[in-house]
Amino acid sequence: MSRPLSHRIYTEVLSKWPKQELRPDYQLQDVIRATIDKRFQTYQPSMEAEELVKARSLQFLQQNRWNEKACSTNTRYKLSGQMLKPSSQPTYFDDLIREIEEAPKRTWFERLGKRLSGMIRLS
């Protein structure tokens, strides 16, 4: 028996899902795959319509269909450049991205140093 279309969409999407470097041993696609496998153990053909909607939604997320460029007609929830540069700390989001990119490459000693510097703050 061949797999239903929704299961094939799930499999394709999860194989293309990007890996998370911060927690390489705990990936979102692994958690989703386990949930899907559990649901398909008790699969009934009547479930296909609902599963297809869920699979397509996940596919649209993976393809980034709802980003600002793809949904240019929706002006109600657009992000402005001002929202990403708060006046209290204009470099916050740039610093956050830099920290996330650097974190997986740090040595044990560098991680300890960062932890200690976070505990001790000099005014």
Number of structural domains in the chain: 2
Q: Which residue range forms the structural domain that includes residue 18?
A: 5-63
Cα radius of gyration rounded to whole Å, the chain: 21
Q: Is the pLDDT of residue 42 over 70?
A: yes
Using alpha carbons, list the distances in angstroms from residue 77 to 61, 71, 72, 115.
17, 10, 10, 37
Q: Which residue has the tokens 């560098």?
A: 110
Are residues 86 and 58 both part of a single domain? no
pLDDT top residue among 40 and 77: 40
Q: Which residues contact 24 (CB under 8 A, 6 or more apart)?
A: 104
Is position 74 within any domain?
Answer: no
Claim to verify: residue 84 and residue 115 sit in the same structural domain: yes
What the block records as the tokens of 51 is: 């599963």
pLDDT at residue 13, rounded to an integer: 94
- Averaged pLDDT for residues 38-51: 90
On whether both 45 and 20 belong to a single domain, the answer is yes
Task: With 0.75 as the threshold, say if the pTM is over it.
Answer: no
pLDDT at residue 55, rounded to an integer:
93
- Note whether residue 73 is domain-resident: no
